[in-house]
Chains A and B, each alone.
Chain A
Amino acid sequence: MTSTPLLRVTDVHKSFGALDVLRGVSFTVAGGERVAIIGPSGSGKSTCLRAINYLEPPTKGRIELKGSVIGEREVAPGTWRRMSDTELAPQRAQIGMVFQLFYLWPHLTARENVALQPEKVGGLARKEALELADTMLAKVHMSHKAHEYPERLSGGQQQRVAIARALAQKPALLLFDEPTSALDPELVGEVLSVIHELADEGRSMVLVTHEIRFAREVADRVFFMDQGLIVEEGPANDVLTNPQSERLQAFLRQMHRQDRG
């Protein structure tokens, strides 16, 4: 119990001008743990995820990965300074991120998309990087499209390549930012099943999602966020079957209606 958690988020605030998107979010994720964050749109869940790898630097608060502070450096005892993107790079390399809109690089083939990070950041030789890419593409069942450019792939295929790209950086933690929200309904399944397989491997992950049923299946714990705060958290089954707060109850009812509709 005393060992450092993989990820510790402490009192994170984020405001855009007068708008407070995060109003003091704290939680920890243990090694091998799978956490799902659910909540209505505008609740701050994506911002919270993007704060973890400092794509959205918090206005206040602290992120620690394996005990070391992300994005801030102690320049003098008690005085912390924001790191530049250049200084942040090695830290971000430890955190894999899958975006809602995939953001595959259109000028590279699927294989090159996956191999770029291991080669340029990880320092592998090009040949080894490409071999690693092939392994990762096999993991997401995309070997047959390795030499295609992203434009030739369906949304679901693109997202699977994006997952392979995140895996290739050998991350300690995987972040998923609504990975299926931009997909046509018939393509959601293939992406979810890949994420499911990764969860079964015991990878640590934080997943922001609208798929309540999927969250229940893969997550150890579920956080419900609303208006910039974690309103309710606990083991997935407890939180989703037996919601305590009125807001979560209302949210789940609404999601349920949409599911049937």
Chain B
Amino acid sequence: MTFLNDKALERLRCSEGADFSGTRYKLREFIARGGMAVVYAAEDEKLSRRVALKVLDAPDANGELTSRLMREARILAQLEHPGIVPVHDVGVLPGGRVFYTMKFVEGLRLDRYIMQVDSLPQRLRLFLRVCDAVAFAHARGVLHRDLKPANIMVGSFGEVLVMDWGLGKILREHSLSRDETFVSSGQKAKSESDSTQFTVITGHGTVMGTPGYMAPEQARGETERIDVRSDIFSLGALLRFIVIGGAQGKSAAQPRPLSAICAKATAESPNARYTHVSELAADVSLYLDGLPVSAYAENFLERLRRFYKRHEVAILLIGAYLIMRALVLLFFHR
């Protein structure tokens, strides 16, 4: 029987018939498979570095998949942001298959990483960084359309990267060439125009996305109704996962203001959701700072409790001082 060495084994596991011999890349190992393409870890021999390489998993007869992959690469190339995985190179193989390479992110997917993070504020800060990246993409006129924990990577240095822009959609109102300033979370994104004005350039009326994270209008295939609020729905579902899912086996308690934020972001009607990612991020930031959030009208007791939590040390100090003062007064008036 033929003995297969380790190289042959890896090749058989990841070889898809793509001939990389004429390129500067050598496939090292299989990473993942998407709907149309496969991602490998590869070695860039020119620069001696590891890259992630995405290539169509089969020759493309009518060119539709090729143009989708090229569009994805172009979207990524334009979205230069620390929270979005950068694209390095794009090319065509001798067989006609398109591929592109991007930064190889060593780390964990958010759904796995979040299990290791006990602190809710720390988990929420991760979420805010996802919001930063998505807000930036929206400001550039790009929707992600497939935001979910599996598409977020947390690198070994804690960097958060939004991956897989394969379902990304370009909105007409904001061309990719426009130079718009990145707006960090917690600020109003001035460059974001009214989301309802966005119209869709691409779209086939087909349902693309992930159940549970896909907005209702997206699930119904109503491509003309998909806008930034569809991504906001996904972010709301992601926030719920981060707050509840990440707390599996630890604590199932969900603070009411956060529940309200999730509920508003994932409202059935797009009109009932936040209109910009920055608004959603601002609410989460307010919660983190112990301030009232726009999505939740708190009662007097809750306001009092929040006030106490926010100023706990000062209140305790003042209380201790008053008690001491009272004791001193009592002692001298006896």
Query: Do they bind each other?
Result: no
